[in-house]
């Protein structure tokens, strides 16, 4: 089966609220990874994160890489909270994959959590298999 890689940095990750949506989309966990050091992260009402690529002032954000059938991608995106979209994410090794990013309006007046480096570190919801 053909798959595409998708980087997720929030509630679609293993053990978190929207992970059942990833599983329903036939997503298969591939690995933990990190972005390159050009991203900033916000808490959107303490419900989910919003990540944006920036030219400066960013950091490396921890995320998960999942493989899923391309036909499932649209349905998964439609199940995401408003203001989140799919774009290209650059990983620490310089490769690019599709990933969940925030539209700029979504992070306005929200709490920046970039220094935490990840949604899990901010919320304290760590995953153990």
H-assigned helices in 6-118: 19-24, 70-78, 104-107
Query: Does 128 or 32 have the greater pLDDT score?
Result: 32
Residue 101: DSSP 8-state: E
At 75-124, the pLDDT tens digits run 998 989 999 999 999 999 999 999 999 999 999 999 999 999 999 999 98
Nearest CA to 88 out of 106, 100, 76, 73 is that of 100
Grade residue 126 by pLDDT with cuts at 50, 70 and 90.
low
Domains and their CATH numbers in the chain: 4-123 (3.10.490.10)
At 29-49, the pLDDT tens digits run 999 999 999 999 999 999 999
Query: 0.85 exceeded by the pTM?
Result: yes
Map residue 115 onto helix, strand or coil. helix
Tokens of 116: 């935490």
User: Which residues pair with residue 112 across a beta bridge?
Assistant: 42
C-alpha distance from residue 4 to each of 38, 67, 93 (Å):
23, 5, 18
Map residue 129 onto helix, strand or coil. coil
Grade residue 127 by pLDDT with cuts at 50, 70 and 90.
low
């Amino acid at each position: 089966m053909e798959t595409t890689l998708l980087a997720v940095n929030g509630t679609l990750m293993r053990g978190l609220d929207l992970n059942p949506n990833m599983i329903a989309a036939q997503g298969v966990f591939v690995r933990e990874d990190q972005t390159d050091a050009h991203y900033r992260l916000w808490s959107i009402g303490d419900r989910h994160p919003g990540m944006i690529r920036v030219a400066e002032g960013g950091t490396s954000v921890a995320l998960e890489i999942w493989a899923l059938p391309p036909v499932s991608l649209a349905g998964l995106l439609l199940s995401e909270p408003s203001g989140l979209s799919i774009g290209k994410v650059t990983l620490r090794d310089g490769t690019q994959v599709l990933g969940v990013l925030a539209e700029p309006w979504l992070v306005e007046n929200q709490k920046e959590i970039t220094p935490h480096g990840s949604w899990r570190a901010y919320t304290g919801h760590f995953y153990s298999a």
